[in-house]
């Protein structure tokens, strides 16, 4: 099973990727985790990535693609993998196709998590952080016992600027602009599968299974 999960921030692809990777017995490969592993391993690409990460800069495509090539060549991907949030651009998609071709593999399906913007905003703007100890809560999925107050230290909770509706809305629009061509790319190659990303986790998981032909 070689699939990629795509979807906007807050779509829930990471949650599903973790559970299905365990169920299918394949690794979940998320770009951030992959880069951190490369940095920890001290590979040449990891050292390159570290320089950008230490500066808070975006890691360029060539480094991400190189790290992905290293990761997909590892033994644990022999039975398949789930790519979580990769590729993000046409260039990355084409590079991925080349990597897999060199490995004698191909991407079997790309699952796109379709979630209404109102639901994404609800999920992404609900985070609250304690000003004193930094503990994180969510108004919907993990609310504090007392509204506005940290369960751990009693400090006041606040919403980070990154989590404001205006900022989150802009992130979603940027993602949509970047991803629309990518969805067309995989649709044209008969690889795209769209699932509704709203509803019970188990229902979404079953829909993914049907979409990629595993039934679970």
CA distance 59 to 107: 24
Strands 2-6 and 81-84: parallel
pLDDT in tens, 132-148: 999 999 998 899 999 99
Per-residue confidence (pLDDT) for residue 62, from 0 to 100: 92
- pLDDT at residue 59 is higher than 90: no
Quote the mean pLDDT of the chain. 92
Does residue 152 have an active-site annotation?
Answer: no
Q: Residue 163: what are its φ and ψ, rounded to 5°?
A: -100, 5
3-class DSSP state for residue 154? coil
Is pTM beyond 0.95? Reply is: no
Domains delineated in the chain: 2-116+177-212 (3.40.50.300)
- pLDDT at residue 115 is higher than 80: yes
What is the pLDDT confidence band of residue 192, given thresholds at 50, 70 and 90? Answer: very high
Does residue 2 have an active-site annotation?
Answer: no
- What b/e sequence results for 59-72 when a residue is b if at least 16 CB atoms lie within 10 Å of its CB, and e otherwise? beeebbbbbbbbbb
> Looking at 50, 88, 191, 205, which residue is catalytic?
88
Q: Report residue 109 as tokens.
A: 């399906």
Sheet holding 28-30, edge to edge: 28-30, 81-84, 2-6, 109-114, 192-196
What is the pLDDT confidence band of residue 208, given thresholds at 50, 70 and 90? Answer: very high
- pLDDT at residue 216 is higher than 70: no
Find the mean pLDDT for residues 7-11. 90
Find the mean pLDDT for residues 8-12. 90
- Type and span of the H or E element at 22: helix 13-24
Q: How many CA atoms lie within 13 A of 192 on its CB side?
A: 19
> Looking at 171, 187, 191, 205, which residue is catalytic?
171
Per-residue confidence (pLDDT) for residue 53, from 0 to 100: 84
Query: Would you call 140 exposed, middle or buried from its count of C-beta atoms within 10 A (0-12, 13-18, 19+)?
Result: exposed
Find the mean pLDDT for residues 204-213. 94
> Looking at 13, 123, 128, 193, which residue is catalytic?
13
What is the pLDDT confidence band of residue 215, given thresholds at 50, 70 and 90? Answer: low
Find the mean pLDDT for residues 93-114. 96
> Looking at 71, 127, 128, 193, which residue is catalytic?
127
Find the mean pLDDT for residues 106-119. 95
List 111's β-bridge partners, or say none.
5, 193
What is the pLDDT confidence band of residue 157, given thresholds at 50, 70 and 90? Answer: very high
> Looking at 160, 173, 189, 210, which residue is catalytic?
160
Does residue 127 have an active-site annotation?
Answer: yes
Strands 109-114 and 2-6: parallel
Does residue 51 have an active-site annotation?
Answer: no
Does residue 13 have an active-site annotation?
Answer: yes
């Amino acid at each position: 099973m070689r699939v990629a999960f795509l979807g906007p921030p807050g779509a829930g692809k990471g949650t599903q990727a973790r559970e299905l990777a365990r169920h299918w017995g394949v690794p979940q490969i998320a770009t951030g985790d992959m880069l951190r592993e490369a940095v920890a391993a001290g590979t040449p690409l990891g050292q390159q990535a570290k320089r950008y990460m230490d500066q808070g800069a975006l890691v360029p495509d060539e480094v991400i693609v190189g790290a992905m090539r290293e990761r997909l060549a590892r033994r644990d991907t022999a039975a398949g993998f789930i790519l979580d949030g990769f590729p993000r651009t046409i260039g990355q998609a084409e590079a991925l196709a080349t990597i897999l071709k060199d490995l004698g593999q191909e991407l079997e399906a790309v699952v796109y998590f379709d979630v209404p913007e109102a639901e994404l905003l609800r999920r992404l703007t609900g985070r609250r952080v304690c000003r004193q100890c930094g503990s994180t809560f969510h108004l919907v999925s993990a609310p504090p016992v007392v509204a506005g107050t940290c369960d751990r230290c009693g400090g006041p909770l606040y919403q980070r600027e990154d989590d404001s509706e205006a900022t989150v809305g802009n992130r979603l629009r940027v993602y949509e602009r970047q991803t629309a061509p990518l969805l067309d790319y995989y649709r044209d190659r008969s690889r795209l599968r769209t699932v509704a990303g709203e509803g019970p986790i188990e229902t979404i998981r079953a829909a993914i299974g049907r979409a990629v032909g595993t039934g679970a």
